Amino acid sequence: ALELKWLIRILLKDLRISLKENSILECFHPDAKDLFDHTSNLFKVAVYLHDPEKRLHEIGLSIFSPFRPMLGERTRADKIEQLIRKKSTNPTAALAEFYIETKYDGDRFQLHRDKDQFMYFSRNGHDYTSVFGPDSNNIGTLTPYIANTFKIDCEKCIIDGEMVIYNRNEKIIHSKGDSFDVKSIQANDSQLQPCFIVFDILMYNDEVLTNRPLNERLQYLHKKILEPIEGRITFSTIKPGACNQDVINELNLAIEERQEGIVVKDPWSVYKPNVRENGGWYKVRS
């Protein structure tokens, strides 16, 4: 009876022991939480960190292995300037300099590419490669249309972005509120198609870029990765900001365009998987 009780609790994910997963990971190994945040893979945690005396000094991303993406800290438009001045690692942080991006109402995705092999993972690490296409020769709603956009020198990459629904007849981006699911679009749909809006890069060829500041990562993204195609794959629009009024103006514009809001980013922020607080990204919703 005792074993059955605990089996049921495990199945229901309700152990009632007031112990969170982070506490268990920290007991297993000092670096276990960081590695799990990077990979979302308990098997790797168990294999790589079986010796508690051996520290994982550098956690590297690996191609075709999903990770939990970096998130935005929720805040108000009138607090951005203060937050950037206080928390930025910019050596001239006395100046409140930041990037402002539109927050599209789509699905967060990461795209892993190694030559002509593609994989797509959702925010929670679910594999949707069969939907979007594993390579340029297979049926898919996205890969066959973007495979040739990547530059010759870019053989391997991991990019982060938002998967949205693009209406090629009306040339508009639909929101989730329009009752469309980007993962359910058919390859032969005459009107709707997925469009990947890219806003960050974590790996270029064999170089992991997570410890580089955002302004450097964006240089890689815009100059070395791909040529955008309208309605298929494009870069997130970035505007500079220096005060709260800049944030308010862009938020009002996002509201007019029926977008979800904006994201304000510290140009000096590094990429921290599965981090929301104190990461340098701030989400301001409409």
Active site residues: 103
Beta strands in the chain (DSSP E): 73-74, 98-103, 107-114, 117-122, 156-167, 172-174, 192-204, 207-208, 233-235, 238-241, 261-265, 281-285
Helix ranges, 53-157 (H): 80-87, 129-132, 143-146
C-beta of residue 106 within 8 angstroms of C-beta of residue 261: no
**Is the sign of the CA dihedral 17, 21, 22, 28 positive or negative?**
positive
Give 122-126 contacts, CB < 8 A, sequence gap 24+.
123/68, 123/69, 124/40, 124/68, 125/40, 125/66, 125/67, 125/68
**Is the sign of the CA dihedral 40, 103, 223, 122 positive or negative?**
positive
